Structure 1
Amino acid sequence: MRLSARAAGLAMAGLLAVAGAGFLAFGRTAEAQTDIAAAGPAIDLSGYERTFSEDFDSLDVTPWGATAEGSRWIAHTPWAGDFGDAQFADPQPGYPFTLHDGVLRIEARKRPDGKWESGLLAANDPRGRGFSQRYGYFEARMKFPPGKGVWPAFWLMGNAKPGFASEIDVVEYYGHDPSIFHTVWHIWREEWGKPNEGEGHMTKVPPGSLSDDFHTYGVDVAEDKVRFYFDRREIWSMKTPDEYKMPFYPLVNLALGSGWPIDETPNPSYLWVDYVHVYQRKPAP
């Protein structure tokens, strides 16, 4: 059994954050499983309104949001914690982010020195500028890269609070097994001398289907329940922890490794992202 965890803590510009888009060290036997054929009802978005629309007709990204107004995305985690076996690169012409007819391509490739680089987008910068929202439906439409060692993810981080950090991994995909994807919830506390909490969930899909075509991955965070969705059909749910009753901001990345070998990872590898959308419930009439 291979184990991996992404957790990093750093105080930056008065912001205390801990986390990583990581799969907490759950053994396979401890993870609940769902077959996508048994997915539940579809989410009805008629009672929601969109609050964040990133359709990648253009891309506003800087390394750290250093402009006076900030940028919509930064190319690193706000707490400056890289993870996995590829360094997240600053944006430059043609790499690691390119746009293709309204679809973002995030590229992972090996440098001449043999080290890997790739890309990450985060919607908050180290000063806390950017988009975040308390409760609502967060969704990305993506097509994953094939091949062993790839580790794409769409995930959410809660605005930092003293004593813990909250993370929701809406989807994590490990390329060595193209028949499943993972959703994981985390509450990170070890930086404050307390045990972490979390649980993973695996969803079975037709092998290779997640890299053959686009699919949507979503989570609806409400005051009472957190519900996870694949192609807008519910796959599992949990009671909302008190630590999740805060604004969250989205991140999307193509990482490598997570404890799995990358010696057979295709060079280059591409994650395709059609959009990232966020909705909130309309006020009751």
Structure 2
Amino acid sequence: MVAAFIIGGALFTMPIDNAKSAGSPYPPTDSEYEKVWSDEFNGDSLDTDVWSPYTGGWNASEVQGCYTESAENINVSGGSLNLIGLYKPGVTCNKGKNKDFTSGFVETKEKQAWTYGYFEARIKMPNNKSTWPAFWMSPNVKRYGEGWPMNGEIDIVETKGSDLDYAAADAHWGKSITNKTHKNSHKSDLPAGFSNTTDWHTYGVKWTEGKLEYFIDGKSYHTVEGFGQPNAANTPHGPFDVPFFLRLNMAIGGTYIDGPGGKWSNAYNVVAEEPGTFPATMSVDYVRIYQRRQPKEVEVKDTGLRKLLNEKLGEKLGTTRTENQKITDVELEKLTDLNLDNSNITNLTGIEAAKNLKNLSLNHNSISNLSPLAGLTSLKTLSLKENKITDISPLTGLTSLTSLNLEDQQPSIKPTDKSFASPLKDLAGNVVSVTNSADVINSTTTPGNIQILSLPANGASPILNTSWTRSVTLGTASATFSGTLTIDTSAIPRAAQPQPQPQPQPQPQPGNPSAAAHNPDNKPQNAVSGLLANTGFNVFLGVIATLALVAAGLLILR
């Protein structure tokens, strides 16, 4: 790869071999830490809100180069911070003590500083024999005195271009430069398999109270502790108990490389014998800082679950806890096994913070929502027998499972229509079919729906039941997702029932006063008997009239 820069109107190019491979997985296993800051160097310039270039010479260890802020010595490109050493005859600095070489040096001094944490950088070192790259930390305050190393120094990594299989960690402290302590690592301490600093490697230090632990590619290889600083007698962790800032630099020449008078301690020997190793580039993929998390309260909505978690935490931590005591994420992460069977739990909210659970049993509860379990990817065994679960798709990421129980679920639903969306979902979120019966089937007209064929009669119980079963595999666990879905049909409208019609009432006949006379209370009468009564009376009147006419005729004949 070639980096190009415009300096003073002129275009400069130089080769930068910073092709990246996969980074180290560290820090990784310590759940009590979280990333608090990083620079991934993905832009095209140095973030000067965080970093400042150090400029000038370095008046120690016979370092030869001058540090500049020029883009030819410090630049961000290709996803990396690049500190570049150059042979520049005629350049001088530090009152002439440093000359003919330039390089890059950046630091967070007076901008960012931290006390305790895990600090790492992924770095590719140069192959120039007179280079001395370093990733290190210095104190931001002078609590223990003015001179070096009274306030301490943490060297996360230093390498030598003269030995590409060498990397060292160190710490310095003491009353003066002539009365000091330092505990550096040795080449024999390096992790097995480490070699070639010109490859990408991750270098880090975990700094805690009274201890510095150094890592390469996630492997611990050197520890410094028991500082015993005479001028910090009342602060046993001093001088490493104050804020420190970060430094990244690449020195050219210096006695660290080959000792005083050593061949490669003098960069002119490289110019004479291996001039092609200039420019020399130290590339930094990222710098990341992790610190111990501040505990955060976890909301546990289910009172039964909160009570049980406090009981389990009391046992685990050896403390006495109240039923409603506040629970933190850091505390829950200490739990690895939980048996919460037969506890009438309905809501699992809060258990998602128990990220290190390996075995969890929740049989015989009333759980319906499995979403809080979705992130518990360390689970090996999970038992959820006899709950109210309809959707198991939140479990799809639990691929470490070796045992799983999802049998005999007892959920319920109250639809408002005879055809309704099925709540039953498998791991992929697909609908699980029910077992067809005379009353309930899988809809043939609306896929994914359940269809009620026959509603219970009026006055009968409105409850229908339908069962389901589905085989599932998750991780190496095989299980059966099964149960009975209770359907309450009381909210589904019924068809209107026919109502009985009223019988017509008899009315009095016009011109028949005798009807009212014989029924003074106007009570209903039988229509047939009334008709017969009226007919007989009329016949009687006709007979009387006939007899009267016959009698009149006989009188006239006389």
Tell me the TM-score normalized by structure 2. 0.38
Q: 2:286 aligns with which of 241, 257, 275?
A: 275
Q: Which residue of 1 aligns with 2:67?
A: 88
Distance 1:60 1:100, change over 3 A: closer
| Residue 209 in structure 1 maps to residue 196 in structure 2 | yes
Q: 1:150 aligns with which of 108, 113, 131?
A: 131
Higher helix residue share: 2
Q: 1:110 aligns with which of 87, 108, 120?
A: 87
Q: Which residue of 2 aligns with 1:250?
A: 246
Distance 1:138 1:82, change over 3 A: farther
Q: Which residue of 2 aligns with 1:76?
A: 54
- 8 Å contact from structure 2 (residues 136, 248) kept in 1: yes
SS at match of 1:134: coil
Q: Which residue of 1 aligns with 2:36?
A: 51
| Residue 229 in structure 1 maps to residue 237 in structure 2 | no
Distance 1:239 1:188, change over 3 A: closer
Distance 1:208 1:187 in 2: 29
Greater radius of gyration (CA): 2
Distance 2:266 2:58 in 1: 21
- 8 Å contact from structure 1 (residues 141, 216) kept in 2: yes
CA shift for structure 1 position 75: 1.1
SS at match of 1:201: coil
Distance 1:218 1:252, change over 3 A: same
Q: Deviations over 1:97-125 (max 9, x none)?
A: 2222211111100113270000001101x
CA shift for structure 1 position 227: 0.4
Q: Which amino acid aligns with 1:106?
A: L
Q: How does 1:117-266 map to 2 (within 5 A)?
A: 117-124=102-109, 129-161=110-142, 162-163=144-145, 164-187=150-173, 189-190=175-176, 195-204=179-188, 209-211=196-198, 213-239=199-225, 241=227, 242-259=238-255, 260-262=265-267, 263-264=269-270, 266=277
Distance 1:278 1:42 in 2: 10
Which stretches of structure 1, 4 residues or more, deviate above 6 A after TM superposition? none
Structure 1, unaligned runs of 5 or more? 1-40, 63-70
Distance 1:188 1:55, change over 3 A: farther
CA shift for structure 1 position 165: 2.2
Q: Which has the higher contact order (CA 8 A, sep 6+)?
A: 1
SS at match of 1:56: coil
Q: Which residue of 2 aligns with 1:7?
A: none
Q: Deviations over 1:239-268 (max 9, x none)?
A: 153210111111001112222121216221
Q: Which residue of 2 aligns with 1:37?
A: none
CA shift for structure 1 position 82: 5.2
Q: Deviations over 1:136-167 (max 9, x none)?
A: 00101000000211100000112232422210
Distance 2:111 2:30 in 1: 24
Distance 1:218 1:183 in 2: 9
Tell me the TM-score normalized by structure 1. 0.72
Higher strand residue share: 1
SS at match of 2:281: strand
- 8 Å contact from structure 2 (residues 46, 75) kept in 1: no
Q: Which amino acid aligns with 2:290?
A: Y
Distance 1:240 1:137, change over 3 A: farther
CA shift for structure 1 position 272: 0.7
Aligned residues: 227
- 8 Å contact from structure 2 (residues 74, 84) kept in 1: yes
Q: How does 1:13-52 map to 2 (within 5 A)?
A: 44-52=29-37
Q: Deviations over 1:179-221 (max 9, x none)?
A: 2111111115327xx612212112356686211x210000000
Q: What is the Cα-based RMSD across aligned positions, in Å?
A: 2.5
Distance 1:231 1:203 in 2: 16
Q: Which amino acid aligns with 1:88?
A: Y
CA shift for structure 1 position 134: 0.7
SS at match of 1:196: strand
SS at match of 2:81: strand
Structure 2, unaligned runs of 5 or more? 1-25, 91-98, 228-237, 256-264, 272-276, 296-329, 331-558
Aligned-residue sequence identity (percent) comes to: 27
- 8 Å contact from structure 2 (residues 141, 243) kept in 1: no
Q: Which amino acid aligns with 1:261?
A: N
SS at match of 1:44: coil
